[in-house]
A = this chain, B = another copy of it.
Amino acid sequence: MTDSTRVRRGAGKRERLASAAARVLHEQGVEKTTLADIARAAGVPVGNVYYYFKTKDELVEAAIESHADGLKTLIAALERLPAPQDRLKALVRGWADQREVAARYGCPTGTLASELDKRADGLDRAIAKVMGALLDWVDQQFRQMGRTDSRELAVALVAAYQGISLLTNTFRDPALMATEGRRLEGWIDSLA
């Protein structure tokens, strides 16, 4: 076995643990998820987790980074569209496409933000940064549409999504998000 193979193996396990953490923490919540849950989902023995992550908090941090990466990828894809209102409507449509997940577990970022705000550690600032990045990007789109109240509109749009995610989850009804998504697309058109 070469040295590089061992290194790649280690990296692979670390990534498996990080992505398993992101998924399981979303589905079960931070407090109800044990290290054993994450280890099982990643196919790694419990005690071995500590070779890659010193504490549970570090696993939560890795999950947040995973969400930050996902947002970055999403934004990069949306940037290919020429008109800002089309980019925003595509964002809304993307959210609506995830309505089944939202009905079962809520918005990955929103539920995490809600839970981490109840904790003393600094992880709530990390998830706020992710939410802030989304807000900034939406703000830019409204600004490019010529709106001077772009920040207020950005807050309203992201809040509408977070709120409908919570209601969709509370009532376990994906149709709520589908309807609200259509309403928001019409609202974006009305602002152009």
Contact = CB atoms under 8 A, between A and B. Distances in A.
A6 interface: no
Contacts of A131: 167, 170-171
A108 interface: no
B183 A152 contact: yes
- When all copies of this chain in the complex are counted, the total is 2
Given A152-B180, A155-B164, A156-B164, 20 more contacts: A31-B31, A113-B170, A117-B169, A117-B170, A124-B170, A128-B170, A128-B171, A131-B167, A131-B170, A131-B171, A152-B183, A155-B176, A156-B160, A156-B183, A158-B163, A159-B164, A159-B167, A162-B162, A163-B163, A163-B166
Most central of A31, A32, A117, A118 by chain B CB within 10 Å: A118
A144 interface: no
Most central of A28, A29, A161 by chain B CB within 10 Å: A29
A117 B106 contact: yes
A119 interface: yes
A128 to B, nearest CB: 5
A111 interface: yes
Interface in A100-135: 105-106, 110-111, 113-115, 117-119, 124, 127-128, 131-132, 135
A114 B111 contact: yes
A55 interface: no
25 contacts: A28-B118, A31-B32, A106-B117, A110-B114, A111-B114, A113-B166, A113-B170, A114-B115, A114-B166, A131-B167, A131-B170, A131-B171, A132-B171, A152-B180, A155-B180, A156-B160, A156-B183, A158-B163, A159-B160, A159-B163, A159-B167, A162-B162, A162-B163, A162-B166, A163-B164
Interface of A: 28-29, 31-32, 105-106, 110-111, 113-115, 117-119, 124, 127-128, 131-132, 135, 152, 155-156, 158-167, 169-171, 176, 179-180, 183
